[in-house]
Structures are given as C-alpha cells and as structure tokens.
Chains A and B, each alone.
Chain A
Amino acid sequence: GESVGLHLPTLSVQEGDNSIINCAYSNSASDYFIWYKQESGKGPQFIIDIRSNMDKRQGQRVTVLLNKTVKHLSLQIAATQPGDSAVYFCAETRVDTGFQKLVFGTGTRLLVSP
C-alpha cells in the first residue's frame, strides 16, 4: 500500500547542532513533497516543499534534499533551537492528477536540549 516511512522515530540533539531528519517514500510516481512540523496540540505547519524536478531547496535555516534514485527525502535544520522541538512529517503527493491527497508517514520526534 501507499506509505511514507521515516528511519528514526526520535532524534535528540543539542541546541546549536544541525539536525537531519530522513524519510523514505514508496510511490515512485510522487512528484511533490512537503515537510510539516507539528507541535503538541496543534495542526501540522508547512515548513518547506520540493518538486521532483529539483534535488535541493533551501529556506530559512532549513534545507530539503530529494534523491529520486533511492526515493529518499531529508530535512536539514541548521543551528537547531529549542523551539524546533516537535514532530516532523514528510508527505508526498502527485500534482499531475489534478486533485491530490497527501500521504504522510508516522513522523519523527525532534528533541532539542538547551
């Protein structure tokens, strides 16, 4: 079935470190990928997205890398802060179908220690 898996359920880092959250996706037809951050008691918050015709995209303190050959996605957070502590989800979809559903994985919990 469809799935978006994550390698690590929990990632613990020190404040100021760089964090890398990985994600493997299974649908080779997916052409649009999104990273969301979800804090306790809140809905997922859009962080950054990337289309399949790109292999890297940078935002403010975040970078998403896409490797279509091995169907792997990663989110890099530079200089991680305590406020970055949350669950991070990658999601995949197909834009070309017109109406798309996001397929989420189970998430990675990021814990940032001061």
Chain B
Amino acid sequence: DAGVTQSPTHLIKTRGQQVTLRCSPKSGHDTVSWYQQALGQGPQFIFQYYEEEERQRGNFPDRFSGHQFPNYSSELNVNALLLGDSALYLCASSLRADGTDTQYFGPGTRLTVL
C-alpha cells in the first residue's frame, strides 16, 4: 500500500520563476492538503482539495494555486517566486468520509529560491 508520494524531491528556482509540485495521495484517499514548512517552523496550511475543487484556504496569496485531478492526485503551483517561498512543501492526504480526517503526509519537496 503506497503512502503519499511527492515529486520532485528537491528544486532550485530563481526569483520571478514559476514552479509546479506534484502529489499522489495514499491509496484510497480522496482529499489532498498542501502545507508550507519554513525551516525550524511547523507546517502552515495552504489549501485543501476535494472533488477537484479548492475547499479551504489558508493565509497565502493568489500566487499559490492548485489543482486536483480525477485520480485524486494534486499539483501546487507558485508564480512569481520570492526568496521567502523557500521552504519544504508538504502534501497530506485523507479520506473525506473517514470523519476524523486524519492527514498522512508525504516526504515533501524542498524548494530553494535564489
């Protein structure tokens, strides 16, 4: 049973560029959430996708956008990258009908913006 997978593992971009990160949820899960984790901090919620729609969003600018596909996988897009966007981006999946909505995390994508 595959857990949550993310790609790529590491990424280096320059200011102003755009980036796309990918996530495949745990088998059987239908909900994907994205988090940003700065060094030495706890993860911060970006948004959550269910049934291919953004259902809830944290305090992140519109430069952060996402998508969920019919197979429940998801992408996180960040436009006009800033130095402060350097962080570990985590994807978490859960099962909507589970009730507890326990979220299971992937290994993350380390994004460095130069």
- Bound CA span A100–B35, Å: 13
The count of residues in chain B whose C-beta lies closer than 8 Å to any C-beta of chain A is 27
Binary CB contact string for chain B from 76 to 103 against chain A (1 if under 8 A, 0 otherwise): 0000000000000010100000011111
Q: Which of A54-62, A63-71, A78-86, A103-111 contacts B (4 or more CB under 8 A)?
A: A103-111
The count of residues in chain A whose C-beta lies closer than 8 Å to any C-beta of chain B is 26
Known A32-B100, A43-B108, A104-B44; 19 more pairs at CB < 8 Å: A41-B107, A42-B108, A43-B4, A43-B90, A44-B105, A46-B103, A49-B100, A93-B101, A95-B99, A95-B100, A99-B31, A99-B55, A100-B56, A101-B45, A102-B43, A102-B45, A104-B35, A106-B41, A107-B42
A residues in contact (CB < 8 Å) with B: 4, 32, 34, 36, 41-46, 49, 51, 89, 91, 93, 95, 98-107
